Amino acid sequence: MANVRSLLTRVAKLEAARVTPKSPFEVAFGSLDAFADKVTADIGADKLDKVDGPMLLQAVLKWHRDRLWSGFRYHNNGQPQYGNR
């Protein structure tokens, strides 16, 4: 029985490791779509530049789609950390 429990524990760890971590935008806004909607609304309300705003949004969307944020981590105090620092 110990072998079965050990195997089940290992399987649970493997399954937990397969869960895709959330990007910083998903953490902050709930979803990337919510972030995009807010940026689009801010551009329409002249809170963000009409030229730079859409370009920055596209850059963030590509960054998210390509999972370039995977090196992004949070410190224990909730502050962002990049890379292996």
Q: What per-residue confidence (pLDDT) applies to 67?
A: 78
How much is the pTM?
A: 0.59
What single DSSP character describes residue 2? H
The pLDDT tens digits of the residues spanning 47-57 come to: 999 999 999 99
**What number of other Cβ atoms are within 10 A of residue 43's Cβ?**
18
CB 71 within 8 A of CB 83: yes
The pLDDT tens digits of the residues spanning 6-51 come to: 888 888 887 876 766 777 888 888 888 999 999 999 999 999 999 9
Distance in angstroms (rounded) separating the CA atoms of residues 84 and 73 = 9
| Nearest in space to 23 (alpha carbons), one of 39, 40, 11, 36 | 36
Distance in angstroms (rounded) separating the CA atoms of residues 53 and 50 = 6
